[in-house]
Amino acid sequence: MRIPIDRDSDVPLYQQIIQFLGEEIHSGGLPAETRLPSTRSLAESLGVNRITVINAYAELEAEGLIYGKTGSGYYVAEFTPSSQQDRPGLGSRQDWPLWQQSLLNRGWTPVQSEMDQLAHSVQGPDLISFAFGVGESQLFPADDFRKALQVVLRRDGVEALGYGDRMGYPPLRATIAHILANQGVPVQSGNILVTSGSQQAVALVAHMLLRPGDMVLVESPSYVGVIDLFRSLDVRLMGVPVDEQGMRVDAVEAILRTTLPKLIYTIPTFHNPTGVCMSSPRRRQLIALADRYDVPILEDDFAGDLRYEGRAQPALKALDPGGRVIYVSTFSKMLAPGLRLGFLAAEGPVYERLVACKRANDLATSNLIQRALEEYITVGRYQAHLRRACQVYGLRRDAMLAALEKYMPTGVSWIKPMGGLFVWLKLPGELSANELYPLAGEERVTYSPGSFFYPGARHQPYLRVNFVNNTPEVIEEGIRRLGKAVERLIAQGPTGSRPRQTRGVSSREEEVVKV
């Protein structure tokens, strides 16, 4: 269990444990009858005295939030809003309007919130983090972009400050269409919709095509932002295994024979989190299956430009004979996440519906930023920045791979990525990346545990490390620290069987999750 502990806080450690567990129980993150970790195992994972955990459990039991079973441990108790204790600063639970109280009983807990809590549990100036999911912001040419903004304001004046075209700034859409054409994706500018990052593009498609209870096929593992998005819409997820050639399309076909999902979501190029690329035969097979079973494909190409070696595979959109694939991409990973500029490409009636949905969602994406980005791209700065970033990131990838070879104990394995941002590691045997995390924190290094990326939450032997956010020297030191933490975990050995934990996912969803 991941509980953020602030050892510098004036709040006693046992009270921090009480506050965290109490909030999780009230929010539904820990449903009734969930078995809690033993006092010994929780104390070891948090690095605190066992008496600290015993005191916390005693107070939670006194409040009626948990109960103990002799010889079995502690469990979350059943309770109703009228019997809930007051929470500091919020007033009595029964004082909330009924519609607010109903939200407390909803079990969905954002995975990204858990990731934030975990990140905050390990802090310090000497910390080396491999956990981020973005590129190196220090490489962003801020001065060049500032000049582009100045050019736009001088040239366009107040016109740049209006809403602009609802589909996006026309010259920028034409430039995007030209970039895609150079990548073998023949899309007209009239089929491009500019969005506030690729996350909004995916959200527009989800809101347009999906209804509560619908099924979506996703890679297992997959991008946590999309897992959160689909869960927020009460959509059922069916995970499709991933190997070194990407999504197992044979598994997709087996599913389609018996079940008809409403959407297939995939990251075929430099997959997040594994970094693998779907092979060309599988890409063609997936398009054929989408045609045969009449299922739309949502292709997320968040880092396709970041290739360091090997031959480029055609985008699914490039293989689409027409109207089967909706393609989304972003400039945020390549430039800076704060730009919040992405786009989608689609043909047919769905495009007009997506434009209408976009207008209802936020009226329009920033007209000023779109114009500045178009100015930045058209003078050749973007391609120059892309070449430089690929050179820098490629060297950092090589530095991480070399460090892994040097410092990782025998039994740890990984997949060499041809591009993208991440390396996907697998621990030996039954070891858990969740249990490695506190040991890594003690060594002053962090990463993203693999369990975050699976539709069903559980302990996993996988972890994702980002190689683009640190210099080669820092990468080597960070991997040295991580290797030391892995050695400590191996010395401890697996902790044995654990109760299955879910992040408040409904039983209906759990039944269809295949990992």
| pLDDT tens, residue by residue, 285-310 | 999 999 999 999 999 999 998 999 99
Range of the domain at 50: 13-104
Is 294 a domain residue?
Answer: yes
Domain endpoint, select from 379, 411, 446: 379
Answer for the pair 298, 202: CB distance below 8 angstroms, yes or no: yes
238-291 pLDDT tens trace? 999 999 999 999 999 999 999 999 999 999 999 999 999 999 999 999 999 999
Percent of the chain with pLDDT over 90: 60
Q: Same domain, yes or no, for 69 and 177? A: no
Q: Same domain, yes or no, for 193 and 252? A: yes
Q: Same domain, yes or no, for 366 and 408? A: no
Q: Same domain, yes or no, for 375 and 389? A: no
Q: Same domain, yes or no, for 300 and 262? A: yes
Q: Give residue 458's pLDDT.
A: 66
Is 454 a domain residue?
Answer: yes
Q: For residue 75, what is the domain's CATH number?
A: 1.10.10.10
Is 111 a domain residue?
Answer: no
Q: Same domain, yes or no, for 332 and 258? A: yes
Is 515 a domain residue?
Answer: no
Q: Which has the minimum average pLDDT: 158-167, 254-263, 358-367, 502-511?
A: 502-511
How high does pLDDT run on average in the chain?
Answer: 87
Q: What is the rounded average pLDDT of the residues 333-359?
A: 90
Q: Is the pTM above the cut of 0.85?
A: no
> Bridge-partner residues for 73, per DSSP?
69
Q: Same domain, yes or no, for 354 and 395? A: no
Q: Same domain, yes or no, for 320 and 300? A: yes
The most confident of the ranges 30-44, 383-397, 473-487 is: 473-487
Q: Which has the minimum average pLDDT: 152-156, 425-429, 454-458?
A: 454-458
Number of structural domains in the chain: 3
Q: Same domain, yes or no, for 346 and 402? A: no
Q: What is the rounded distance in angstroms from the CA atom of residue 325 to the CA atom of residue 254?
A: 20
Asked if the model's pLDDT at residue 224 lies above 50, the reply is: yes
Q: Give residue 14's pLDDT.
A: 87
Q: Give residue 196's pLDDT.
A: 93
Answer for the pair 460, 432: CB distance below 8 angstroms, yes or no: yes
Q: Same domain, yes or no, for 156 and 282? A: yes
Q: What is the rounded distance in angstroms from the CA atom of residue 218 to the CA atom of residue 37?
A: 31
Q: What is the rounded average pLDDT of the residues 7-13?
A: 84
Query: What are the angstrom distances between the C-alpha of 97 and each of 92, 93, 94, 102, 494?
Result: 11, 9, 8, 9, 46
Query: What are the angstrom distances between the C-alpha of 454 and each of 28, 171, 222, 500, 506?
Result: 20, 39, 6, 14, 15
357-391 pLDDT tens trace? 999 989 889 999 999 999 988 867 878 888 999 99
Is 484 a domain residue?
Answer: yes
User: What is 167-221 written as a DSSP string?
Assistant: T--HHHHHHHHHHHHHTT----GGGEEEESHHHHHHHHHHHHH--TT-EEEEEES
- Cβ partners under 8 Å of residue 142, min gap 6: none
Q: Same domain, yes or no, for 38 and 74? A: yes
Q: Give residue 177's pLDDT.
A: 95
Q: What is the rounded average pLDDT of the residues 442-468?
A: 90
Reading the block at residue 256, the tokens are 């389609």
Q: Same domain, yes or no, for 289 and 363? A: yes
Is 401 a domain residue?
Answer: yes
Q: What is the rounded average pLDDT of the residues 432-457?
A: 91
Is 504 a domain residue?
Answer: no
